[in-house]
Amino acid sequence: MNSETPKPSKPNSVEYPIDKRTVQHNARRKRRRQTLRGDKKTRNGKKIEQKGSGNYADMLSEYPNKGKCGAKEIFEAKEVVEAKIKQLAEYFRESSHTVVYTGAGISTAAGIPDFRGPKGVWTLEKKGEPAPSGLAWEDTKPTLTHKAINLLEKKGLIHCLVSQNVDGLHLRSGFPRDKLCELHGNIFMEKCDRCGFEYMRKDAIPSVGLKSTGRRCTQSRTSCGREVGCRGRLRDTTLDWEDMLPDPDFTRANQHSQKATLALTLGTSLQINPAGRMPLEALKNPNGKLVIVNLQHTPHDEDASVVIHAYVDHVMEGLLKELGLPKPD
């Protein structure tokens, strides 16, 4: 990147040195200002339209550190998996505060590609191969795992759900918003930047990075003792790489993680922090347990009480059976 010729300083002004981090931050802001608003973004001079997970990844800013991609998937023997599911069911019965953490692996059965699997978006990107676009967001439907999580919450067995997914399938499957912490946003949601009211839409929001969508908030607020329209700007809620994790979701996720006596991770490689470290908080509590369900190794396998290498839908179906609960339709 060529540096610009510095402008003459004003008389009596003081010049402060600019460190490397400030330069990088300013460069990121400049790149973001240059992106297009609305339903398109450019990368390498090419306009990209958002449809599915692969296209969503194209809408993000360039970011080199995407973690380990393309690791070999592991499938344990049926009898081994069944024994571990029985142990997981016992942990559920014993736990006083259970927190579930979900990643892209629970949505592959819905037609949304993952990111770091053998055919994942980032994996293929590193190989220079085109990413699978997957189904359009609007055409995806909740999987057995989404429905099983809902059922367990209704039975009082799950106290908080922390998700890194932006596909909106947890809310669309009926999971209560006040028990859901969406750390990376929701492709179907807009949020007012004045009053914080959230709008869940039927169609995917065609931008990422907390950009203005061009719509205004229709809620009411009190000003000078009288009720007036809020009229705050609505913004997309899907994070770009450098965006701060949203509150109150991030704060609530930390609070529940610190109270957890059972942390269950489903379909996440646990490589993106701080979300990847949150499940470890359960191990700080007396008799706290960490169970990891993923087809690939994670950085925290050695810390886990149980690691299950199997499809999440299979594990959750078996868990419901062990707990005497029906398989969701």
Which of 147, 212, 184 minimizes the C-alpha distance to 56?
184
CA dist 207 and 213 (Å) reads: 8
Positions marked active-site: 184
**Token pair for 239:** 């994070």
**Token pair for 65:** 């550190």
Q: Do 133 and 204 contact (CB within 8 A), yes or no? A: no
Other CB atoms within a 10 A radius of the CB of residue 285 amount to: 16
Q: Do 199 and 191 contact (CB within 8 A), yes or no? A: yes
CA dist 161 and 170 (Å) reads: 9
CA 239 to chain centre: 9
